[in-house]
Amino acid sequence: MTQHPTLGIGLAGFGTVGSGVWNTLHRNGALITSRTGGGVSLEVERILVRDPNKSRATTLDADPGLLTTNWRQLVDDPKVEIVVELIGGTTTAFDIAEAALQAGKPVVTGNKALLAERGIELFALSRETGVPIHFEAAVAGGIPIIRTVMDSFVGNHIQSFFGIINGTSNHILGRMTDAGLTFGEALAEARSLGYAEADPTLDVNGWDAAHKAILLATLAYGFPIDPGAVHVSGIEQVRPMDIAFATRLGYAVKLLAVIREHAEGGVELRVQPSFIPNSHILASVHGVFNAVAVNSDAAGESLFYGRGAGQDPTASSVVADLVEAARGARHVESHRGFLPYRETGALIPVEDTATSYYVRFDVTDRPGVIADVARILAERGIGISGTHSPVNPDDPDADFVDMVFLLHTCPFGRLQGALAEIEALDCINSTPVVFRIETLA
Amino acid sequence: MTQHPTLGIGLAGFGTVGSGVWNTLHRNGALITSRTGGGVSLEVERILVRDPNKSRATTLDADPGLLTTNWRQLVDDPKVEIVVELIGGTTTAFDIAEAALQAGKPVVTGNKALLAERGIELFALSRETGVPIHFEAAVAGGIPIIRTVMDSFVGNHIQSFFGIINGTSNHILGRMTDAGLTFGEALAEARSLGYAEADPTLDVNGWDAAHKAILLATLAYGFPIDPGAVHVSGIEQVRPMDIAFATRLGYAVKLLAVIREHAEGGVELRVQPSFIPNSHILASVHGVFNAVAVNSDAAGESLFYGRGAGQDPTASSVVADLVEAARGARHVESHRGFLPYRETGALIPVEDTATSYYVRFDVTDRPGVIADVARILAERGIGISGTHSPVNPDDPDADFVDMVFLLHTCPFGRLQGALAEIEALDCINSTPVVFRIETLA
């Protein structure tokens, strides 16, 4: 196995996502190398910027000598082996991708508009040259839905997708639902919070979601899709009364992308504001989060949920594609299976892990039992947030009752010590039963 | 590019999952070949069975000549290039995997116990031989969590996993919650429905989930984990009163696997019955479904949801691993990027797509307006399930009001025709606003 062949990257675009990629590679580069069995080491060799004199975040210590304003210099640089296109748009971005493929350099892009509108040309060139285009970052930011559809579901006929794939729209609809805001108020708030772009047109009119849906459908069904044939409507017309009506009927209002293959042939593809049942897991997708529910003939129902945009989530997907591109590069022979990459590591003893708790005791009811238990807990510094006994009020004179304590956060070992002491009391009839209370944070 | 090199598979185990793999390859084999640009064509060349005379489902038309009861015959068969281990257990399964790796044949397995307990030996052999082990099917059935952690999150430090990764336990807890069943009743029901194995010990005592959690932690943190050091408790002690108590406090009761890297170093890993907030998306994971929530430093919060067991979902993951193994086989040169694999395909015109609808009209209030709208809808055969007007009761004498109709399922084109006619009425002041009502089925 070749050890640590460094792969040179050309980063076209050094804005939000581009600098996120830079940061991620610097923060986690060594981790990536060890996880790939020493097979993949990535190095940014060229950065395309619009204005080399623009001041950049001080966290980015990119050598000014890497910067160029001429994209040909980046693509033609012999040290650049993989080209990352993050400039957006469908003109220069196309030229960069085309030139890279022609030069035999894999392309990684997050540009959904480019692929939805000009993917036919680029995929044809990819086939002709044998050089891949990777685009995980183009759909749903940090959610690995592209790889899931292409690789994990390669053996599935996909029956449908239901996607919440525009975080701005979802955030606006959520605020209209939770706070009763009008569309205009919620949009203004989203802009002030940075959840909407300066020009949010493509977000609220449904076309950002439509571009992503076109890519998903292309992956699942394999044929080129004309964006002009896709029915798209956005959320501009949604009013608080619509949401109130939906809520009353047990629905959530979502901008929903629907892709569905009909049994009799043909693919349905549309983006529209929709009422969806509150009982469906998609209705639990709040704020700027995205989710894609997939129904397929082998895997069945599944759902992929996460951050659909933002610097770091999108960078996560670009970096995953970079590793994939690097593995595919001819001179890297990388072990494709899992290999342990640390010799040793420590499991934290469960005694040292802390949460709050629910504990149930089976007690013989006698005066002083609560006092005894509470004293033992107090002696060990374990706070009680609630207690309830007897739990079964149907039989107030029962000798054996269940007694429940809710306990503040403490190390499990401390709780175990207290419970051992409590279990030894003559009024405790069996080993106490413990449930963790998890905040999931 | 080599066209259609057929890769020979040895299928060790022909039970539920093994026959699911057979079915999936036969149903979707051509799709797999076209999706991989003609790069991957898979053929089962040998099948290891316990009893060759056992009658098999009539849907399985496996040539009896493929069957063998001797695993060495399977591994040693020169036509077998990839070995799929689906027999379970940690002894013969280990021998098969070991022999396959030594013979240079990639191993695909769904055996979580094997890898959690003897993975150290097998991964060492995989490193030594350079031959990969793939095991997507070992964790959470049809959910591609292994590939997500290994590939999609390769550039992420993973901070935590929270997993509902035992469907039997989740189903039992759900029935105790929804129907007030005792643990024993819910377990008996799960067995009668086929949601619990004849011997459900490892499901309900937490060890099935623990094996999966050990694998996830090994992937994320890279070091071998001793199962003996993991704290595991199951759901046998859960009582309806615990669930009632949790419900009253706004929690759901779940068997939760928690894996968390502490900032100061070390990894927390435990499986315990837990209270989790109803507001968290994990609380919406019902029945036999599994889900894994992942927090990582670049992708942020994400969640992967789907079927955690069962013939077809597990086969989906085995087949994905087979394609991955095939791509890695030396003589297959497969394009790793996406290539459109159908020349043409049809988008279904949006006019032909049917759902039910919510429609809002902005009307000038005059006698007969509802009658006019209802007549036009009736003439086109569109059923009305509800109507409401005026929606704003604060101003009962307003001239302009919002009128809402809920309409039964019909093709969108038929609705559009009706709405065009309605919009032409003199009392309708603007284009009607339409929301789809989606069942998500």
The Cα–Cα gap between A172 and A165 comes to 13
pLDDT above 90 covers a percentage of chain B that reads 80
> Which pair of tokens denotes residue A386?
């609630």
Q: Map out the domains of chain A as residue ranges.
A: 6-141+313-328, 145-307, 350-437
pLDDT above 70 covers a percentage of chain B that reads 95
Check pLDDT > 70 for residue B381: yes
- The minimum CA-CA distance between B316 and chain A, rounded to whole Å, is 5
Q: Return the beta strands (E) in B158-288 as ranges.
A: 158-164, 231-232, 251-261, 267-277
* Residue B230 near residue B269 (C-beta atoms within 8 A): yes
Which chain A residues touch B233 with a CB distance below 8 Å? 434
Do A440 and B162 make contact, defined as CB atoms within 8 angstroms? yes
The per-residue pLDDT for range B252-268, each reduced to its tens digit, is 999 999 999 999 989 99
- Chain B residue nearest residue A35, CA to CA: B154
The Cα–Cα gap between B397 and A312 comes to 54
The Cα–Cα gap between B150 and A57 comes to 31
Of the listed ranges A325-329, B106-110, B428-432, the one predicted with least confidence: A325-329
Which chain A residues touch B299 with a CB distance below 8 Å? 142-143, 306-307, 312-313, 316-317
* Residue B360 near residue B432 (C-beta atoms within 8 A): yes
A135, A345, A433 ranked by CB distance to B237: nearest: A433
Do A223 and B296 make contact, defined as CB atoms within 8 angstroms? no
> A6-141+313-328 — its CATH code?
3.40.50.720
Of the listed ranges A303-307, B1-5, B221-225, B313-317, the one predicted with least confidence: B1-5
Q: Which of helix, strand or coil describes residue A66?
A: helix
The Cα–Cα gap between A172 and B371 comes to 35
Check pLDDT > 50 for residue B58: no
pLDDT score of A400: 74
Complex-level ipTM beyond the 0.90 threshold: yes
pLDDT score of A176: 97
Which of A115, A122, A134, A152 should we substitute to test contact with B (largest number of B Cβ atoms within 10 Å)?
A: A152
> Hey, CA dihedral for B28, B34, B36, B40, is it positive or negative?
positive
The Cα–Cα gap between A269 and A214 comes to 8
Which chain A residues touch B241 with a CB distance below 8 Å? 360, 391-392, 402, 404
- The minimum CA-CA distance between A147 and chain B, rounded to whole Å, is 8
Of the listed ranges A332-341, B169-178, B285-294, B388-397, the one predicted with least confidence: B388-397
Check pLDDT > 90 for residue B382: yes
pLDDT score of A441: 86
The mean of the pLDDT values for chain B is 92
- The minimum CA-CA distance between A439 and chain B, rounded to whole Å, is 7
* B294-309: average pLDDT: 97
Which chain A residues touch B277 with a CB distance below 8 Å? 439-440
Residue ranges of alpha helices (H) inside B47-111 are 71-76, 92-102
Which chain A residues touch B262 with a CB distance below 8 Å? 348
pLDDT score of B196: 87
The Cα–Cα gap between B389 and B376 comes to 17
Of the listed ranges A51-55, B269-273, B289-293, the one predicted with least confidence: A51-55
The per-residue pLDDT for range A288-299, each reduced to its tens digit, is 999 999 999 999
* A101-112: average pLDDT: 96
H or E, element range at B142: none
Check pLDDT > 80 for residue B39: no
* Residue B347 near residue A267 (C-beta atoms within 8 A): yes
Candidate CATH numbers 3.40.50.1000, 3.30.2350.10, 3.30.70.260, 3.20.20.70; the one for domain B350-437: 3.30.70.260
Place of tokens 């204005």: A51
The mean of the pLDDT values for chain A is 92
Which chain A residues touch B272 with a CB distance below 8 Å? 434-436
The Cα–Cα gap between B29 and B41 comes to 7
Task: Look at residues A105, A50, A61, A123 and name the one whose alpha carbon lies nearest to residue A322.
Answer: A105
Check pLDDT > 80 for residue B273: yes
> Which pair of tokens denotes residue A28?
């986690």
The Cα–Cα gap between B101 and B98 comes to 5
- The minimum CA-CA distance between A108 and chain B, rounded to whole Å, is 10
Q: Return the beta strands (E) in A87-157 as ranges.
A: 107-109, 133-134
Task: Look at residues B338, B283, B319, B325 and name the one whose alpha carbon lies nearest to residue B26.
Answer: B319
Which of B33, B347, B412 should we substitute to test contact with A (largest number of A Cβ atoms within 10 Å)?
A: B347
Do B155 and A224 make contact, defined as CB atoms within 8 angstroms? no
Quote the distance between the C-alpha of residue A98 and its chain's center: 29
> Hey, CA dihedral for B375, B376, B379, B385, is it positive or negative?
negative
The per-residue pLDDT for range B103-146, each reduced to its tens digit, is 999 999 999 999 999 999 999 999 999 999 999 999 999 999 99
pLDDT score of A331: 52
Which chain B residues touch A30 with a CB distance below 8 Å? none
* Burial class of residue B50, CB neighbours in 10 A (0-12, 13-18, 19+): exposed
Can you name the residues that pair with B232 across neighbouring β-strands?
A: B271
Neighbours of A383 (CB within 10 A): 12
**Helix, strand, coil percentages for chain B (3-state, nearest 5):** 40, 25, 35
- Chain A residue nearest residue B157, CA to CA: A28
Do B345 and A402 make contact, defined as CB atoms within 8 angstroms? no
Of the listed ranges B51-55, B347-351, B433-437, the one predicted with least confidence: B51-55
Residue B243 neighbours by CB under 8 Å, 6+ apart: B173, B176, B177, B253
Do A312 and B298 make contact, defined as CB atoms within 8 angstroms? yes
Is A350-437 in the same CATH topology as A145-307? no
- Chain B residue nearest residue A148, CA to CA: B144
**pLDDT confidence tier of residue A48, bands split at 50, 70 and 90:** very high
The per-residue pLDDT for range B177-224, each reduced to its tens digit, is 999 999 999 999 999 998 888 899 999 999 999 999 999 999 999 998
Neighbours of A183 (CB within 10 A): 18
Which chain B residues touch A1 with a CB distance below 8 Å? 130
* B162-183: average pLDDT: 97
How many CB pairs lie under 8 A apart between chains A and B?
A: 416
pLDDT score of A37: 82
* Burial class of residue A198, CB neighbours in 10 A (0-12, 13-18, 19+): exposed
Can you name the residues that pair with B41 across neighbouring β-strands?
A: B6
Do A130 and B224 make contact, defined as CB atoms within 8 angstroms? no
Dihedral of the alpha carbons of A324, A330, A332, A335, in degrees to the nearest 10? 70
- The minimum CA-CA distance between B63 and chain A, rounded to whole Å, is 22
Do B223 and A345 make contact, defined as CB atoms within 8 angstroms? yes
* Residue A18 near residue A47 (C-beta atoms within 8 A): yes
Do B147 and A147 make contact, defined as CB atoms within 8 angstroms? yes
* Residue B74 near residue B83 (C-beta atoms within 8 A): yes
Do B347 and A319 make contact, defined as CB atoms within 8 angstroms? no
> Which pair of tokens denotes residue B396?
């009962």
pLDDT score of B2: 45
pLDDT score of A390: 60
Do A345 and B312 make contact, defined as CB atoms within 8 angstroms? no
* Residue B274 near residue A434 (C-beta atoms within 8 A): no
- The minimum CA-CA distance between A44 and chain B, rounded to whole Å, is 15
The answer to whether the predicted template modeling score (pTM) of the entire model surpasses 0.90 is: yes
Neighbours of A260 (CB within 10 A): 20
Could you tell me which residue, B188 or A57, shows the higher pLDDT?
Answer: B188
> Hey, CA dihedral for B114, B260, B279, B248, is it positive or negative?
positive
Tell me the CATH architecture of domain A145-307: 2-Layer Sandwich (3.30)
Candidate CATH numbers 3.40.50.1100, 3.40.630.30, 3.30.360.10, 1.10.10.10; the one for domain B145-306: 3.30.360.10
pLDDT score of B397: 67
**pLDDT confidence tier of residue A59, bands split at 50, 70 and 90:** low
